[in-house]
Homo-oligomer: A and B are copies of this chain.
């Protein structure tokens, strides 16, 4: 398991899914190379990349002669291949917390479409949008707030007693609204700001600048 690791990501560092794979690798304290793909061009559609990723998607993790795409699968793979206690766990150890974390991860990837479209990660990583949320966007934000309110305790701490990937992923979804100046309940706002200070997230943000 000591082979080289490379992470293929979008050259703008905008993809939230590339960010999650990047954060996972940083949290595991694994050295890795970054290979930037110009998604505006056709690099990710080239046969060599399709072969590597199977589906042409970003991010793709290459570990030795094994390659894997889909950020949720990458997170699980890293937890299986580089388990605690030697490496930080990316998912909670308890059966029910682990299940809830995976529910949150899957939900954020497949629902709240209007929110993801109207508040793309460009509003976080580049500049806010001047368009107000549509009715669908507002409804999605409300749905997010209701679920997040049930999940996050009054002190705005990590979801399951210690950080896990679902914290970064939920914080990113809420951050779309925070960065844009849309109204976000105080408890959720505090949760996001705490998660955003994590060194792995700050390291990702460092790639945005300059």
> What is the interface of chain A, defined by CB distance below 8 A to chain B?
50, 54-57, 66, 68-73, 76-77, 80-81, 95-96, 98-100, 102-103, 105-107, 109-111, 143, 146-147, 150-151
Contact = CB atoms under 8 A, between A and B. Distances in A.
- Mostly, the A contact residues are helix
B106 A80 contact: no
Copies of the polypeptide in the assembly = 2
Given A55-B147, A146-B50, A68 B103 contact: yes
Nearest to A98: B80
B147 A106 contact: no
B55 A143 contact: yes
Contacts of A99: 66, 68, 73, 76-77, 80
Contacts of A150: 54
Contacts of A105: 73
